[in-house]
Amino acid sequence: MKHIVLGVTGSIAAYKAADIANRLTKDGYSVHVIMTKAGCEIITPLTLQTLTKNKVYTDMFEPYNPSEVEHISLAQQADLFLVAPATANFIAKAAAGIADDMLTTVFLALRNTPVLIAPAMNTAMYENPITQRNIRTLSELGFGFIEPREAMLACGDLGKGALADVDEIVKRAEEALKQIILPT
């Protein structure tokens, strides 16, 4: 069975992570969710735990399994690292190599694991030259992006920044996983 680590950050689109996690779980993947503190303000960990049947990680220092160093073991078991939605904050931290929570720490502990990042934020934040530089930096390092849509955003603005359609995110994740051959 292939393992997906799904990062959920504090975008209002975090509620769509439930659909993403549910679809990937029903498609036969083991989905392990890591939520930022801000992500937990939008959707509860219990929702994602119920849908994935796996513990949801929210705190870097909560002992989940005393015999493991969780951020390392999660990184090692991940066949795909997917962040949907990804805020400007997560993208900036990832581009700068900042590891100050469970999600960014696992991200930095990955080795040769495909990464897909699905941004979701206000248009001004998405188009900000700093955010665009951070996206370019991560893209140049080989990390994949699933482009946001142009839509009416939660703040009332019309523009690019809405999370890509769930169908597109699931499709891209499954395409990335098809490239991986599990040892027999």
Angle between helices 88-96 and 129-140 (to 10 degrees): 50
* Domain 3-178: homologous superfamily in CATH: Flavin prenyltransferase-like (3.40.50.1950)
User: What pLDDT is stored for residue 40 in this prediction?
Assistant: 97
8 Å CB contact between 32 and 52: yes
pLDDT, one tens digit per residue, over 36-75 is 999 999 999 999 999 999 999 998 877 666 666 677 889 9
Give the rounded percent of residues in the chain with a pLDDT score beyond 70. Answer: 93
Query: Which tokens in the block code for residue 152?
Result: 């009416």
pLDDT of the residue at 152? 78
| 124, 127, 35, 69 alpha-carbon torsion, rounded to 10° | -140
Structural tokens at position 57: 């990680």
pLDDT > 90 fraction of the chain, expressed in percent and rounded: 82
* Residue 155 in this model has a pLDDT that exceeds 60: yes
pLDDT one-digit tens code per residue, 138-150: 999 999 999 999 8
**Least confident segment among 30-44, 94-108, 144-158, 161-175:** 144-158
Overall pTM surpassing 0.85 (yes/no): yes
Pair 23, 44: CB distance under 8 Å: no
CA distances from 1 to 86, 107, 177 (A): 25, 21, 11
Task: Give the pair of three-digit tokens for residue 164.
Answer: 């890509």
Identify each DSSP E strand in 9-114 by its residue range. 30-35, 80-86
**Burial letters 144-153, b for 16+ CB under 10 A, else e:** bbbebeeeeb
Looking at 155, 171, 175, 180, which residue is catalytic?
155
For residue 13, what are its two tokens? 């689109």
What is the C-alpha R_g of the chain? 15
* pLDDT surpassing 80 at residue 153: no
| Helix (H) or strand (E) run with residue 160 in it | strand 158-162
The per-residue DSSP string of 86-120 comes to E-HHHHHHHHHT---SHHHHHHHH-SS--EEEEE-
40 part of the active site:
no
Select the more confidently predicted residue: 31 or 69. Answer: 31
